[in-house]
C-alpha cells in the first residue's frame, strides 16, 4: 500500500479526537473534535503560521495525552476533500518538511502550484501605516490605529486624521481609492514609497518599535492576526526601505474631488463599492519627515 493510500484510509476511518502514528513516532495523522484534520511532523524550528484557502501550516502542541513536544502541523477543515488533501499530506511527509531549515520553502511551492487567489493587504502598505504611527508617537501624540476595523481613516490623533497610501513603484504617483467614503474624513494623505531590500523595516521590526514607544505588543499582534498577518507568517519578515514620503493637505483640491462628491451623493443600494485611481503628479505636498532615531 502506498503512502497516499495509507493516508486516505486513515482519514476515512480515524475517530474524532484521535491521532495515529505512521511508520515511526515522528509522523502522525489526526482528526480533532473541531473538524480539523491532517498530518504532523515532529519539529524543533522557529514558529510557523501560514494559511491559504482552507489549508493551514503551523507549529503547535497536539492535544493528545500520549503525544508530546512541538509539531509542524498541516491541517484542513474541509473533510469532504480529504482524498485530495491526502495528496498534499503525502508530499508533506515524504519531503520531510519539518526537517527543512525553512518550512516556508515547501509551503511556497504548493501555494504557487495551487495559485494565490487570495488577495492580501500588502506588507509594505501595513508598514507605511506603522511608520506614520511611529512618527506620531515620537511627537507624543495619543494615536488610534486599528487596521482590522477598515475605517475611512487609517490613523487618528486627537487633532488630525490620516489616510496612508504606499507604493513600491519607483516613479508612479497613482493611488487607488477603494471606497466611496475613504476620503470623506481624513485631514491628510500620507504617501509612502518603499523599496524591497535586505535593509529597512519589516512588520516584525515595526511591532517591536511601536512596543518600545508604548503600544501593547499583544494588542498589535491581535490586530495583525485579524487582517491575515499571523505571528510566524513569512510575510512579517519581508524588509522594505522607506525612500520617500509625502504629506498632502486634504483641504486642497485633490484629483477626483468632484467625482468623490458625486459618489457621496449617489444613492443606489445596489452599488456596494466603488474604486478608482488618481494621479498625484503636480499636486502640492510637503515632506513627511519620519525620524529614524
- Per-residue pLDDT band for 119 (boundaries 50, 70, 90) equals very low
Distance from chain centroid for Cα 254: 30
Residue with cell 529597512: 200
Q: Is 32 exposed, middle or buried (0-12, 13-18, 19+ CB in 10 A)?
A: middle
CA distance 133 to 97: 38
pLDDT above 90 covers what percent of the chain? 43
Looking at the predicted structure, is the pLDDT value of residue 70 above 80?
yes
Q: Is 262 exposed, middle or buried (0-12, 13-18, 19+ CB in 10 A)?
A: exposed
CA distance 237 to 152: 28
Cβ(49)–Cβ(59) under 8 Å?
yes
Looking at the predicted structure, is the pLDDT value of residue 117 above 50?
no
Which pTM does this prediction carry?
0.62
Q: Which residues contact 270 (CB under 8 A, 6 or more apart)?
A: none
E strand or H helix at 161: strand 161-167
CA distance 113 to 52: 12
CB atoms within 10 A of CB 264: 12
Looking at the predicted structure, is the pLDDT value of residue 84 above 80?
yes
Quote the DSSP letter at residue 228.
T
When comparing pLDDT for 130 and 110, which is higher?
130
Single out the residue of 267, 283, 285, 281 nearest to residue 180, CA to CA.
Answer: 267
pLDDT above 70 covers what percent of the chain? 85
Kindly report, residue by residue over 196-248, the tens digit of the pLDDT: 999 899 999 999 999 999 999 999 998 888 787 888 888 899 999 999 999 99
SS3 81: helix
Residue with cell 485633490: 254
E strand or H helix at 41: strand 37-42
pLDDT at 270: 62
Cβ(246)–Cβ(286) under 8 Å?
yes
Torsion sign over Cα 183, 186, 188, 191? negative
Q: Which residues contact 64 (CB under 8 A, 6 or more apart)?
A: 18, 19, 30
Residue with cell 519607483: 170
CA distance 239 to 138: 22
Kindly report, residue by residue over 48-69, the tens digit of the pLDDT: 998 876 789 999 988 875 677 8
Single out the residue of 194, 124, 190, 179 nearest to residue 156, CA to CA.
Answer: 190
pLDDT at 172: 81
- Return the top range by mean pLDDT from 82-91, 93-102, 248-257: 82-91
Quote the DSSP letter at residue 144.
B
**Measured between alpha carbons, how far apart are the two ends of the chain, in Å?**
62
Quote the DSSP letter at residue 237.
G
Amino acid at each position: 500500500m502506498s503512502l497516499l493510500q495509507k493516508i486516505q484510509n486513515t482519514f476515512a476511518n480515524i475517530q474524532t479526537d484521535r491521532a495515529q502514528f505512521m511508520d515511526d513516532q515522528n509522523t502522525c495523522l489526526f482528526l480533532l473534535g473541531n473538524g480539523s484534520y491532517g498530518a504532523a511532523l515532529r519539529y524543533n524550528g522557529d514558529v510557523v503560521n501560514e494559511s491559504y484557502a482552507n489549508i493551514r501550516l503551523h507549529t503547535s502542541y497536539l492535544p493528545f495525552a500520549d503525544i508530546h513536544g512541538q509539531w509542524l502541523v498541516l491541517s484542513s477543515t474541509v473533510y469532504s476533500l480529504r482524498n485530495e488533501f491526502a495528496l498534499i499530506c503525502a508530499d508533506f511527509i515524504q519531503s520531510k518538511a519539518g526537517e527543512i531549515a525553512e518550512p516556508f520553502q515547501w509551503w511556497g511551492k504548493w501555494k504557487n502550484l495551487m495559485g494565490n487567489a487570495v488577495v492580501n493587504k500588502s506588507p509594505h502598505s501595513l508598514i507605511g501605516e506603522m511608520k506614520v504611527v511611529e512618527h506620531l508617537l515620537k511627537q507624543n501624540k495619543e494615536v488610534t490605529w486599528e487596521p482590522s476595523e477598515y475605517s475611512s481613516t487609517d490613523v487618528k490623533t486627537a487633532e488630525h486624521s490620516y489616510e496612508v497610501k504606499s507604493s513600491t513603484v519607483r516613479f508612479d504617483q497613482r493611488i487607488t481609492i477603494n471606497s466611496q467614503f475613504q476620503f470623506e474624513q481624513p485631514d491628510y494623505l500620507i504617501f509612502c514609497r518603499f523599496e524591497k531590500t535586505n535593509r529597512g523595516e519589516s512588520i516584525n521590526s515595526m511591532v517591536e518599535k511601536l512596543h518600545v514607544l508604548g503600544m501593547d505588543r499583544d494588542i498589535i499582534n491581535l490586530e495583525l492576526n485579524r487582517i491575515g498577518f499571523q505571528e510566524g507568517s513569512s510575510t512579517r519578515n519581508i524588509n522594505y526601505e522607506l525612500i520617500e514620503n509625502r504629506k498632502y493637505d486634504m483641504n486642497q483640491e485633490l484629483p477626483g474631488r468632484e467625482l468623490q462628491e458625486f459618489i457621496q451623493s449617489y444613492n443606489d443600494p445596489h452599488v456596494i463599492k466603488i474604486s478608482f485611481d488618481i494621479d498625484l503628479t503636480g499636486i502640492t505636498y510637503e515632506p513627511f519627515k519620519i525620524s529614524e532615531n
